[in-house]
Amino acid sequence: MGGIPVEIVEIRTKTGVYGEIYQVLCKVLEGPDAGRVILRNVKGPVKKGMILMLLETEREAKEIKAR
């Protein structure tokens, strides 16, 4: 069982207790959801244009709103 490749289109915001989690917009490159843009939380250093491998693309993160 492999992952589904997604490309980071935009980095939205940092979140988490120490700012180690990024909210990113990802474009799905393959599979049944190809072309769909989803919001996901990613841990670690990321840059626009990076390719990530996700186990599933159905789940989407909730957008963080400023208080």
| CA 51 – CA 66 distance, rounded (Å) | 28
pLDDT at residue number 52: 94
pTM, two decimal places: 0.84
Cα distances (angstroms) measured from residue 40 to each of 15, 49? 12, 15
What domains can be seen in the chain, in order of their start residue? 4-54 (2.40.50.140)
DSSP string, 12-50: EEEESTTS-EEEEEEEE-SSTTTT-EEEEEEES---TT-
> What are the tens digits of pLDDT across the range 17-55?
888 999 999 999 998 889 999 999 999 999 999 999 999
**Residue 23 contacts residue 43 (beta carbons within 8 Å):** no
